Amino acid sequence: GDYTAYAAGKTLYFVEPDISLDAVVALLEQLDNNPDFSPSRLVVLGYLLDSKAQREMTEAVKLYNNRKGIELTLDIRYN
């Protein structure tokens, strides 16, 4: 979705600016459609998101019911 995130084990790190809702939707589609992609934790640097984007991302992850049965958690960090 035109955004680069970084993976380490089962954790996916969002450290680049300009995270969009489209990028989050693309991530969730990858979870469903790519058998080799199965992170269980998303870590986002909170200062990269305004409050609206944080709410959208939190809601998208919370409401997501993936086909693989992965329990996906979102961790927004400020340090």
For residues 6 and 25, the model is more confident at 6
Please tell me the distance from the alpha carbon of residue 49 to that of residue 29, in angstroms, as a whole number.
Answer: 21
Residue 75 pLDDT level (bands cut at 50, 70, 90) = very high
**Which pLDDT belongs to residue 54?**
87
Report whether pLDDT(31) > 80: yes
Angle at CA 37, nearest 5°, toward 62 and 7?
85
Say what the pTM is: 0.83
Q: DSSP label at 58?
A: H
**Which pLDDT belongs to residue 53?**
84
Please tell me the distance from the alpha carbon of residue 45 to that of residue 38, in angstroms, as a whole number.
Answer: 20
